[in-house]
Amino acid sequence: MSDPKPTYLRDYRPPAYRVTHTELTFDLDPAATRVKARLHLERHPERESGLPLTLDGERLVLKAIAIDGQPLEEDEYALTEDGLTVHRVPERFLLDTEVEIAPEANTALEGLYQSGGMYCTQCEAEGFRRITYYPDRPDVMATFATTVIGDAKREPVLLSNGNPVERGELPGGRHFVTWEDPHPKPCYLFALVAGDLEKVEDRFTTMSGREVTLQIWVEAENLGKTDHAMASLKRAMTWDEQTYGREYDLDRFMIVAVNDFNMGAMENKGLNIFNSAAVLTHPHTATDAAFQRVEGIVAHEYFHNWSGNRVTCRDWFQLSLKEGFTVFRDQCFSADTNSAPVKRIEDVSFFRTAQFAEDAGPTAHPIRPDHYIEITNFYTLTIYEKGAEVVRMLRNLVGWEAFRRGSDRYFERFDGQAVTIEDFVGCMEEASGQDLSQFMRWYSQAGTPEIDAHGEYDYANAEYRLILRQRTPATPDQPDKLPLHIPIRLGLVGTKSGRDLPLTLDGESLGTDAVIHLREDEQEFVFTEVSEAPVPSLARGFSAPVKLRFPYGREDLAFLLANDSDGFNRWDAGQRLAMLALDDLIAAHRNGVEKVMDSRVVEAFRTLLSQDSDDKAVLAEMLTLPSEAYIAEQQPLVDVDAIHAARTFVKQSLAMALRDEFLAVFEANRSEAPYAPEPEQIAARSLKNVALSYLMAIEDEEGIELVQRQFAADHNMTDVRHALTLLVHSSRDDLAEPALRRFGEKWAHDPLVMDQWFSIQVTRPQPDALERVKFLMEHPAFSLKNPNKVRALIGAFAGQNRVNFHRADGEGYRLLADVVIELNRLNPEIAARIITPLTRWQRFDEARQALMKAELERIRAEELSPNVYEVVQKALA
Ligand code: B3K
Ligand code: ZN
């Protein structure tokens, strides 16, 4: 397994042979499943005659092989660790193979595996090669016919892609179902599910009047938890018809919930497989955030039916072609369904914390990488979220109408094909008539562009000069960067009127909110007829995925927070203002100087709290301080203790100064109404719970009483979980312990709630958190084989509990490295993800750097999967 070799984009060639039709038969058995495959193959018209046939295959035991019905002699083919070569084949032929695989031994959860008692598959990106010998690449698209044979009692339900065409009994208590998928697809979209499942069924009539059966398949005990996913699916289907003109194309659409799953969900054609955490909800078990996440993921996977399945990727370097576009689509759907400004704030706040950190670390890569060792490592925030930001910029550059025309063109022209990012952007160019060649650099250049802006108001000439300078820092393999085409949406807010001033640039009048285009390293924009001194509101709505610096004074920020017409930038001004105060306090903490609260932040919060906000969810966001992770992102050197102390100090100072205001907001937003995951209720709950956090910040009698009452009222999981977190994260173990016990006992039977129970405890700032992690790893509800548990316990501790993970004694690092070493054997994909916090060692002091690197070295000394190998190599490069 040592020194795996990279794959390069520049080496792309079409396959020597393509598959036009694939027939599969699975005879299921936990230890010895037999897979028969008949592939209808033909030479690719662009490749020469006489080439050998090479197929991918891993961990397969070959039992039989024949071409056009003739079994092959041993010297006619060769088997290796990763595939099969047949030396001589005709131009068109049938290949029959039979292999044996062991689903029960598959802990990597790629290919065919068992989750609890059921069989399921995960084939993206390269899992199909663990099922049968096949050209496992997305540019080979075939129709599929799949027969699944199972035990009639243990596996009464047998599912695959497309439509069921035949079923019947077999001897020995076995039965079978045959499925046909008429849409040509790459094998990464193949799926099979078999088990004792129950279904919830609904119907949808498409815009052209076709009837579609919708099914959600779950284990019996989860039957009451599918309503929200079903409603979300129907909303998503309607939205895609109305917004993109895209209709569903099969008679049935199925979703299956499985407990052991590496990611959130998978868009297999007609048979989406979901992590149960991404589909099951109930007011008593799922929070508002979970309800919204389910809605977003159901929509995302559904939208892939066009952006990904009907039109797919030529090779895995193009992954963002489907993921960036589909994330953009699901973001817009959620914005349309809930509060658009809050959706944008949440997405950007997450993006600036997590994607910026990825871009600044050793695994930084472009949206379209040019090489990889293990493609599974590239399902990243850069491919997904930055990819979505780039599609959003495109939509804004060409305008929605042209974007929609471009999208229609893309879906029509490339239907049934495997294409590239150039094909997509090309359609946008044709539809808009714009030259997007400079814009394409966003796809090839890694790193977060930094813009330094400054402005001057010239009273005498009524002019405002704005100077913008861009620079993208070096990233691994990319020392030099070219200037990007960066759209900056902006307004000039008059300091007298508090209003957006009319913008005139080069004699052209642009309205009060406009986009300017930064294309050079440095550019000057002179706005004329500016009647009063303005404060600029820049990159409104986060118009480009950049870091934008402007020397705002605290008064400027308080002014924007009160007056900016752009809700997003009002929130951002508040974040910037809080950051200035936090910076001072971090410095004070480090220097051992007494901390003093900035009164401007207090007054800004007072104003926010006194206003009657029409969007409570936005107000809740504005009252939320930047997270420790976000604050850390802004520091040259991360001091986790100083950050924690500074943030806690701000929170407590605000809590003391504005106690009555928080109490009033809390009381005003309490409700006994039955729970519904609807925008108004969610907004009120989030505002109430933000207020409650402040009321608990100083841990006085009244705050404690309110939190305990909310916990005991047991009204819905959002409120219960929030109250539990406040109790467990307080300094009072006498409050934490009984609440944890009660919650743990009540929900011992529900794995998704137990995940929350794990996370809440191991993210507490108290010094026992690390010992708790070790203790909970022995808990009967915990298993290293279940990715949700690993994320809930280890991922939450290492990613969110910054003070304890970065303990000066290095015990946090050691714990994570131990887990990575074990997971490297069990589930390399999860191992390579969970390691992320260790790879960010450059950001810490020397002592911590040494400790983190020592753990990375310890991991490197192991026999590593390509997944972990690639990440560790980069981290130590
Ligand atoms: N396309 C899947 C990704 C699964 C890959 C796991 N190795 C999920 C999604 O983006 O919809
Ligand atoms: Zn996706």
Q: What is the DSSP string of 159-182?
A: EESSEEEEEEEETTTEEEEEEEEE
Cβ neighbours for 664, distance < 8 A, ≥ 6 positions apart: 609
Domain encompassing residue 810: 747-877
Give the span between the Cα atoms of 454 and 550, in whole angstroms.
6
Inform me whether the pLDDT recorded for 1 exceeds 50: no
Alpha-carbon 745 to chain mean position? 31
pLDDT band at 614 (very low <50, low <70, confident <90, very high): confident
Mean of all residue pLDDT scores within the chain: 98
Assess whether 494 and 363 both reside in one domain: no
Residue 409 lies in a domain: yes
Inform me whether the pLDDT recorded for 857 exceeds 80: yes
Inform me whether the pLDDT recorded for 2 exceeds 60: no
Residue 136 lies in a domain: yes
Which one, of 132, 126, 106, lies nearest residue 31 by Cα? Answer: 106
User: What letters, b where the CB count within 10 A reaches 16 and e where it falls short, cover 277-288?
Assistant: bbbbbbbbbbbb
Residue 700: both structure tokens together? 């006085």
Query: What is each CA distance from 648 to 589, 635, 698, in whole angstroms?
Result: 12, 17, 10
Question: Counting Cβ atoms within 10 Å, is residue 810 exposed (0-12), middle (13-18) or buried (19+)?
Answer: middle
Whether 419 contacts 319, CB under 8 Å = no
Assess whether 477 and 427 both reside in one domain: no
pLDDT score for 140: 98
Residue 804 lies in a domain: yes
Is the C-beta atom of 388 inside 6 A of ligand 1? no
Residue 166: both structure tokens together? 């035949």
Which one, of 850, 877, 866, lies nearest residue 7 by Cα? Answer: 866
Whether 424 contacts 391, CB under 8 Å = no
Assess whether 491 and 436 both reside in one domain: no
Whether 520 contacts 499, CB under 8 Å = no
Assess whether 329 and 407 both reside in one domain: yes
Residues in the chain: 877
Q: 410 C-alpha to center of ligand 2: Å?
A: 18
Whether 38 contacts 23, CB under 8 Å = yes
Give the span between the Cα atoms of 502 and 833, in whole angstroms.
48
User: Are β-strands 450-458 and 463-471 bridged in parallel, bridged antiparallel, or unpaired?
Assistant: antiparallel
Residue 238: CA count within 13 A, CB half-sphere: 11
Pocket test of ligand 1: the residue of 327, 379, 383 to mutate, having most ligand atoms within 8 Å of its CB, is 379
Is the C-beta atom of 191 inside 6 A of ligand 1? no
Residues near ligand 2 ion, CB 5 Å cutoff: 323, 326
Residue 511 lies in a domain: yes
pTM recorded for the entire structure = 0.98
Give the span between the Cα atoms of 418 and 12, in whole angstroms.
13
Assess whether 47 and 164 both reside in one domain: yes
Q: Indicate which CATH number applies to the domain containing 323.
A: 1.10.390.10
pLDDT score for 3: 81
Inform me whether the pLDDT recorded for 613 exceeds 80: no
User: Are β-strands 312-313 and 265-266 bridged in parallel, bridged antiparallel, or unpaired?
Assistant: unpaired
Give the span between the Cα atoms of 245 and 404, in whole angstroms.
9
- What would the mean pLDDT of 269-291 be, rounded to a whole number? 98
Which one, of 576, 466, 565, lies nearest residue 516 by Cα? Answer: 466
pLDDT-above-90 percentage for the chain? 99
Assess whether 80 and 153 both reside in one domain: yes
Which residue has tokens 């005139």?
504
Looking at 544, 562, 591, which one is the last position of a domain?
544
Q: 40 C-alpha to center of ligand 1: Å?
A: 27
Query: What is each CA distance from 611 to 241, 620, 659, 702, in whole angstroms?
Result: 39, 13, 16, 24
Hey, which residues are catalytic here?
301
Query: What is each CA distance from 711 to 97, 314, 366, 718, in whole angstroms?
Result: 59, 52, 45, 10
Q: 301 C-alpha to center of ligand 2: Å?
A: 6
Looking at 429, 444, 459, which one is the last position of a domain?
444
Question: Counting Cβ atoms within 10 Å, is residue 71 exposed (0-12), middle (13-18) or buried (19+)?
Answer: exposed
Strand partners, 100: 34, 61
Whether 604 contacts 560, CB under 8 Å = no
Q: Using alpha carbons only, how large is the chain's radius of gyration in Å?
A: 28
Question: Counting Cβ atoms within 10 Å, is residue 335 exposed (0-12), middle (13-18) or buried (19+)?
Answer: middle
Q: 591 C-alpha to center of ligand 1: Å?
A: 47
Eight-state DSSP code of residue 495: T
Eight-state DSSP code of residue 478: B
Cβ neighbours for 320, distance < 8 A, ≥ 6 positions apart: 367, 368, 383, 384, 387, 390, 421, 443
Assess whether 23 and 135 both reside in one domain: yes
SS3 189: helix
Q: Indicate which CATH number applies to the domain containing 502.
A: 2.60.40.1840
Which one, of 162, 176, 85, 97, lies nearest residue 132 by Cα? Answer: 97
Residue 191 lies in a domain: yes
Q: 577 C-alpha to center of ligand 1: Å?
A: 38
Strand partners, 274: 257, 265
Q: Indicate which CATH number applies to the domain containing 72.
A: 2.60.40.1730
Q: Is 64 left (phi over 0), alpha (psi -120 to 50) or beta?
A: beta
Q: Can you spell out the DSSP letters for 419-441?
A: E-HHHHHHHHHHHH----TTTTH
Domain count, the chain: 4
| Residue whose CA is at the smallest distance from ligand 1 atom 8 | 266
Residue 784: both structure tokens together? 């290293």
Give the span between the Cα atoms of 327 and 389, in whole angstroms.
9
Give the span between the Cα atoms of 355 and 348, in whole angstroms.
10
Residue 95: CA count within 13 A, CB half-sphere: 27
Residue 301 CA: which ligand is closest?
1
**For 781-819, how does the pLDDT look when each residue is reduced to its tens digit (9 = 90+)?**
999 999 999 999 999 999 999 999 999 999 999 999 999
pLDDT score for 627: 98
pLDDT score for 612: 76
Is the C-beta atom of 385 inside 6 A of ligand 1? no
Nearest atom of ligand 1 to the alpha carbon of 308: 1
Q: Which one-letter amino acid corresponds to residue 353?
A: T
Give the span between the Cα atoms of 237 and 227, in whole angstroms.
16
Looking at 482, 515, 544, which one is the last position of a domain?
544
Strand partners, 659: none
Give the span between the Cα atoms of 334 and 218, in whole angstroms.
25
Eight-state DSSP code of residue 521: S
Which one, of 549, 363, 337, lies nearest residue 447 by Cα? Answer: 363
Q: Which one-letter amino acid corresponds to residue 100?
A: E
Pocket test of ligand 1: the residue of 126, 189, 263 to mutate, having most ligand atoms within 8 Å of its CB, is 263
Pocket test of ligand 1: the residue of 109, 124, 309, 383 to mutate, having most ligand atoms within 8 Å of its CB, is 124
Assess whether 428 and 470 both reside in one domain: no
Assess whether 462 and 380 both reside in one domain: no
Assess whether 16 and 157 both reside in one domain: yes
Residue 454 lies in a domain: yes
Nearest atom of ligand 1 to the alpha carbon of 297: 11
Residue 285: both structure tokens together? 């078990």
Give the span between the Cα atoms of 652 and 457, in whole angstroms.
39
From 308-317, 384-393, 603-612, the region with the lowest mean pLDDT: 603-612
Q: Is 162 left (phi over 0), alpha (psi -120 to 50) or beta?
A: left
Q: 187 C-alpha to center of ligand 2: Å?
A: 16
Cβ neighbours for 277, distance < 8 A, ≥ 6 positions apart: 264, 290, 752, 755, 788
**For 174-196, how does the pLDDT look when each residue is reduced to its tens digit (9 = 90+)?**
999 999 999 999 999 999 999 99
Pocket test of ligand 1: the residue of 323, 328, 375 to mutate, having most ligand atoms within 8 Å of its CB, is 323
User: Are β-strands 211-218 and 252-258 bridged in parallel, bridged antiparallel, or unpaired?
Assistant: parallel
Q: Indicate which CATH number applies to the domain containing 763.
A: 1.25.50.10
Residue 360 lies in a domain: yes
**For 135-163, how does the pLDDT look when each residue is reduced to its tens digit (9 = 90+)?**
999 999 999 999 999 999 999 999 999 99
Whether 487 contacts 517, CB under 8 Å = yes
Give the span between the Cα atoms of 246 and 305, in whole angstroms.
9
Alpha-carbon 261 to chain mean position? 15
Whether 184 contacts 142, CB under 8 Å = yes
Residue 235: both structure tokens together? 């909303």
Give the span between the Cα atoms of 368 and 546, in whole angstroms.
18
**For 219-267, how does the pLDDT look when each residue is reduced to its tens digit (9 = 90+)?**
999 999 999 999 999 999 999 999 999 999 999 999 999 999 999 999 9
Q: 300 C-alpha to center of ligand 1: Å?
A: 10
Give the span between the Cα atoms of 669 and 683, in whole angstroms.
9
Is the C-beta atom of 827 inside 6 A of ligand 1? no
Give the span between the Cα atoms of 535 and 553, in whole angstroms.
10
Cis peptide bond prior to 645, omega within 30° of 0? no
Residue 720: both structure tokens together? 């219960």
- Assign 3-state DSSP to the chain and report helix, strand, coil percentages, each to 5: 45, 20, 35
Inform me whether the pLDDT recorded for 689 exceeds 70: yes
Residue 329 CA: which ligand is closest?
2
Residue 438 lies in a domain: yes
Is the C-beta atom of 263 inside 6 A of ligand 1? yes
pLDDT score for 760: 98
Assess whether 426 and 499 both reside in one domain: no
Whether 155 contacts 184, CB under 8 Å = no
**For 502-549, how does the pLDDT look when each residue is reduced to its tens digit (9 = 90+)?**
999 999 999 999 999 999 999 999 999 999 999 999 999 999 999 999
The dihedral built from the CA positions of residue 207, 209, 210 and 215, taken in this order, carries a sign that is positive
Which residue has tokens 């009252």?
623
Assess whether 119 and 135 both reside in one domain: yes
Residue 245: both structure tokens together? 């003109």
